[in-house]
């Protein structure tokens, strides 16, 4: 049967507690897991938080660690600026009397930007022309339909009027002439 025991004793120098974990062979084999010798340790969230509060937080507040973290941050920003300058462009100070800076894009980025803008503009222009053509086609079709309708109405009215006059003439002749 695996057996694990732990004992906690207080050190007198700074009131720290030392916990000793004792494992028998079966408990150690179970902890090590399979034949690959992979160590498996499960810690509860409370144990991890307590460990962080007691040890890691104190380490992170040390001035040497803070200085190193600041150096890493500074180095990161420097490398980021270099990467941006290499791929995009760089800042340039204005004239001697001006406090403004301007950003100069490199040729590759400018080319990519011009291509993207041109493609976007061409797409928008094409969509606008297509929409205007469809709208104009609809307006022209409506006007043509209206003109055809009016012309047909006028022709039908003229034809009906002509036939009515002819019918009227024939009716008058029929009354005038004896049968």
- Residue 40 has a pLDDT of 61
**In terms of domains, do 117 and 148 share one?**
yes
- Residue 122 has a pLDDT of 93
- Is 94 part of a structural domain of the chain? no
Instruction: Round to the nearest angstrom and report the end-to-end CA distance of the chain.
Output: 139
- Is 78 part of a structural domain of the chain? yes
* Contact indicator for 48, 57 with CB cutoff of 8 Å: no
Burial track 121-138 (b if 16+ CB lie within 10 A, e otherwise): eeeeeeeeeeeeeeeeee
Q: What angle do CA 69, 74, 76 make, to 5 degrees?
A: 95
Look at the chain and report how many structural domains it folds into: 3
Does an H or E element contain 16, and which?
none
pLDDT tens for each residue of the chain, 179 residues long: 555 565 555 554 555 666 677 777 777 677 666 666 566 666 667 777 777 777 776 677 677 777 888 889 999 988 988 887 777 777 777 666 666 777 778 888 888 888 999 999 999 999 999 988 888 888 888 899 999 888 888 888 888 888 888 888 888 877 765 55
Residue 43's SS3 state is coil
* Contact indicator for 19, 6 with CB cutoff of 8 Å: yes
Q: Which residues pair with 4 in a beta bridge?
A: 23
Q: Which structural domain range is residue 32 located in?
A: 1-42
**In terms of domains, do 116 and 150 share one?**
yes
- Residue 63 has a pLDDT of 78
Name the nearest CA neighbour of 23 among 5, 42, 43: 5
**In terms of domains, do 110 and 176 share one?**
yes
**In terms of domains, do 37 and 49 share one?**
no
Separation between Cα atoms, residue 154 and residue 146, nearest integer Å: 12
**In terms of domains, do 110 and 177 share one?**
yes
Residue 44's SS3 state is coil
**In terms of domains, do 113 and 66 share one?**
no
Does an H or E element contain 106, and which?
none
**In terms of domains, do 37 and 58 share one?**
no
């Amino acid at each position: 049967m695996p057996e694990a025991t732990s004992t906690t004793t207080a050190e007198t120098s700074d009131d720290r507690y030392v916990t000793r974990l004792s494992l028998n062979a079966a408990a150690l084999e179970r902890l090590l897991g399979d034949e690959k010798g992979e160590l498996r340790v499960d810690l509860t969230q409370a144990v991890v938080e307590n460990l962080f509060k007691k040890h890691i937080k104190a380490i992170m507040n040390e001035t040497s660690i803070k200085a190193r973290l600041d150096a890493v941050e500074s180095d990161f920003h420097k490398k980021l600026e270099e990467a941006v300058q290499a791929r995009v462009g760089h800042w340039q100070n204005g004239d001697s009397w001006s406090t403004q800076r301007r950003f100069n894009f490199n040729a590759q980025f400018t080319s990519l930007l011009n291509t993207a803008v041109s493609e976007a503009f061409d797409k928008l222009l094409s969509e606008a022309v297509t929409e205007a053509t469809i709208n104009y086609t609809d307006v022209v079709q409506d006007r043509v339909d209206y003109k055809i309708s009016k012309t047909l109405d006028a022709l039908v009215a003229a034809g009906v009027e002509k036939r009515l006059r002819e019918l009227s003439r024939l009716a008058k002749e029929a009354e005038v002439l004896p049968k």
